Amino acid sequence: MWRLLHVLAIGALIASAVYVYSLKYQTILASEEIVKKRHLIAKEHEAINMLRAEYAHLVRPDRLQTLADKQLDMQPLALNQIVKAEDLPEPAAKVDSIGRMLGQSSTPAFGAVGSTPAQR
Amino acid sequence: MTEPSDLTPPAAKTPKPPMSLRLRKWFGDLVSTRLDKSGGRIRQLMLVLLIGYLGIGTKLIRFGVSSEPPQTLKTAADQAASGARPDLLDRNGEILATDVRTLSVFAEPKRIIDKDEAVELITAVLPDVDARELRERLTSKKGFVWVKRQVTQKEQQEIFHLGLPGIGFFPESKRIYPNGPLGAHVLGFVDKDNIGTAGMEKYLDQQGLTDPHVPGFSVDPNALKPVRLSLDIKATHALRDELLAGMDKYKAKASAGAIIDVNTGEVIALESLPDFDPNDPPDMTKEANWPKINRVNVGTYEMGSTFKALTIAMALESGKVNLGSRIDARDSLRSGRFTIHDFHATHRVLTVPEVFTHSSNIGTARMALMVGVEGHQAFLRKMGQLDRLRTELPESAEPIIPKHWGELSTMTIAFGQGLNVAPLQAVMGVSALVNGGHMMAPTFLMRDEPAAMAVSHRVVSEQTSESMRYLLRSNATHGSGGLANIEGYYVGAKTGTAQKIVNHRYSNDKVFTTFMAITPADKPKYLYMVIYDQPEAAPGDGGYHTAAYNAGRVTGSLLRRVQPLEGVAPTSIFPTQPFPLIARLGFGADADKVGKE
């Protein structure tokens, strides 16, 4: 009887030791993982920072201005581009494709064309 | 257990028994308890333990007291490497300055085997490293030396492939300014160790917002909160672009400009040309035709006729003059051997608004004399024109005040000659005149109106302020500010042309021009200032190089460009009752009646 108890106690001791050891090992593994992940996060932060800096460099106003001057046909905001709602002309009557074909030669162009006032 | 041998009983000194017996007796003594010896043994043991503990204690204290941490390579590199700085953002969150990670090459001279070979190989890869200097550094007795700071990716690869022992890489922060020279005079720059040497960068260090190099006190770079400045980078770019175009057109030597929110004192944009690229700090000191200083903060100039606004405000505030008063400007004003003339002489009696729109020197001098020398000084001091203006920027300048301030000084200072102030100071004074009379120091950090009001104090009455707004508006419609009175905005403006002093006398052809504009004039939000140093007349301007033709015209195009950027669209609907306080007194109705005589 006593012997069995002793064997059981020793067995429990060994089992708990093994369990504690494996727990400790897992903890070490997990903490190493954390350190690695932290490194990765730091690296990503750096990369994000670098990209932000690059983006800021690419959208700096003087570069955008030269690009806009070259590529876009835009004008600065001016008073003559701002109209009150009641000053807008009546929208032209809707013409479907057949109507357009019929009146291609006779219908005059309505209203304003072109995107900027200078072209009007 | 390890009982010293001299503790063996005195009996041992009697004739020596055989060796084996002695050993047996010694062991027997060791394990047997003898009451007569126990006390002594315990005392011996206590002594030994005491000595041991004392030793441990003193060592511990020495560790605790010494400030010098054990010098490892890591700490040496940490101390040498540049610290982290918070990002600088503009008012809309655009990046003005940020830190990026770069690698720097270092060496541990003790671990380098063949120094000559190392020098040869490194200089082959990094041609810009001076071979002799590098050899000196590598043969030094230090444990840690830099080979080259902030190398490129390619250089790093090449150095790595050399496979030299004792050569390593250490990550460092490098400050970059993505917008190049935009706002450089405000931002300042940092040195190789990422320590601010000028501008807001230096301010950050002074405020302890950066990561200092104190061993054991390292701030996590991610924990540094970005600092938001009041600058708007888009407006700053527009300002710089327009100033540059104007400098080219009018062949000016230097130029500067500022846009300020008069209600909060925030500086929206500030530029001073010629400028520099903060990414390349030596650029600051590089040869230029004209010094690359921050003319708005550090330069002191005679502000010319823009100072008349202060004089008239003073006269109105004193109550000796009102908007309907008449000032005699028929004849030149004499004082001793000096005579004060008018640039645009009218030779008649002028009303106060006419004094302003005709920019009459005689008229303003007479108004200043009504207040007197003492009152003039007191008013200018109240307006912050006689003391050094301090902002967040470490750079500032003391105004140059005449040594003997008599009546003549008061007369000339009344129209902006004889007193040199920093342009930002004049801007501060004028914005206090137009914002309802609240004086506040300009700031380069974000500030909202309640916070600004909390630090401000009243310098002129609401009515005087409104009178000034009316005067500025009428000067824009039928005075010298016409070229900045652009369509769609309710602008008020004042020109100022000061003759430069060349060889101790006022030069006739070298001028310093200033222009100030407020918008909208009935309830100002923005104050624009543009300065040109030694502009020349542009072709087609009839030989005029006065402020209206250069600074004024530039301010006009600047307004047209920046107002929409700040979210103010042009409008054809102007306020019907722009100046209610003075309207009640019967003035101010003629502000928009364009009819220049």
| Residue-wise pLDDT tens digits, B149-201 | 888 878 888 888 888 888 888 888 888 899 989 999 999 888 877 888 888 98
Average pLDDT over residues A13-20: 97
Q: What is the CATH number of domain B233-276+293-584?
A: 3.40.710.10
Interface of chain B toward chain A, CB-CB under 8 angstroms: 94-95, 98-101, 176, 178-180, 182, 222, 233-234, 236-238, 241, 487-488, 560-561, 564, 569-572
A47 contact residues in B (CB cutoff 8 A): none
Nearest CB to B569: which of A52, A61, A77? A77
Q: What is the ipTM of this complex?
A: 0.72
B53 with B67: CB under 8 angstroms? no
Gap between the Cα atoms of B565 and A78, Å rounded: 13
Distances (CA, A) of B74 to A46, B16, B216, B233, B260: 20, 64, 12, 39, 47
Show Cβ contacts of residue B101 under 8 Å, excluding neighbours closer than 6 positions. A46, A49, A50, B171, B172, B173, B174
Residue of A nearest to B570 (CA): A79
B268 with B529: CB under 8 angstroms? no
Look up B396 and say whether it is catalytic.
no
Gap between the Cα atoms of B469 and B462, Å rounded: 11
Each domain of chain B, given as residue ranges in start order, spans: 5-65, 75-228, 233-276+293-584
In which element (H, E) is residue B508 found? Answer: strand B505-519
Gap between the Cα atoms of B378 and B384, Å rounded: 10
Are residues A61 and B233, on separate chains, in Cβ contact within 8 Å? yes
Determine which of A49, A55, A80 to mutate to test the interface with B (most B C-beta atoms within 10 Å).
A49
B576 phi and psi, to 5 degrees? Answer: -80, -30
In which element (H, E) is residue B334 found? Answer: strand B333-335
Per-residue model confidence as pLDDT tens digits over B366-410:
999 999 999 999 999 999 999 999 898 888 889 999 888 888 889
Distance from the B492 Cα atom to the nearest Cα atom in chain A, whole angstroms: 18
Nearest CB to B98: which of A53, A62, A79? A53
Residue B433 has pLDDT above 90, yes or no: yes
B239 with B181: CB under 8 angstroms? no
Distance from the A68 Cα atom to the nearest Cα atom in chain B, whole angstroms: 14
Distance from the A106 Cα atom to the nearest Cα atom in chain B, whole angstroms: 38
Residue of A nearest to B240 (CA): A62
Q: What is the CATH number of domain B75-228?
A: 3.90.1310.10
Distance from the B94 Cα atom to the nearest Cα atom in chain A, whole angstroms: 7
A59 with A101: CB under 8 angstroms? no
Distances (CA, A) of A104 to A100, A109, B517: 6, 10, 54
- % pLDDT > 70, chain B: 90
Which range among A8-17, A109-118, B138-147, B497-506 has the greatest average pLDDT?
A8-17
Are residues A76 and B241, on separate chains, in Cβ contact within 8 Å? no
Name B269's bridge partners.
Answer: B259
Show Cβ contacts of residue B488 under 8 Å, excluding neighbours closer than 6 positions. A78, A79, A82, B569, B570, B571, B572
Catalytic-role residue among B173, B305, B360, B431:
B305
**Residue B123: CB atoms within 10 Å:** 17
Are residues B179 and A82, on separate chains, in Cβ contact within 8 Å? no
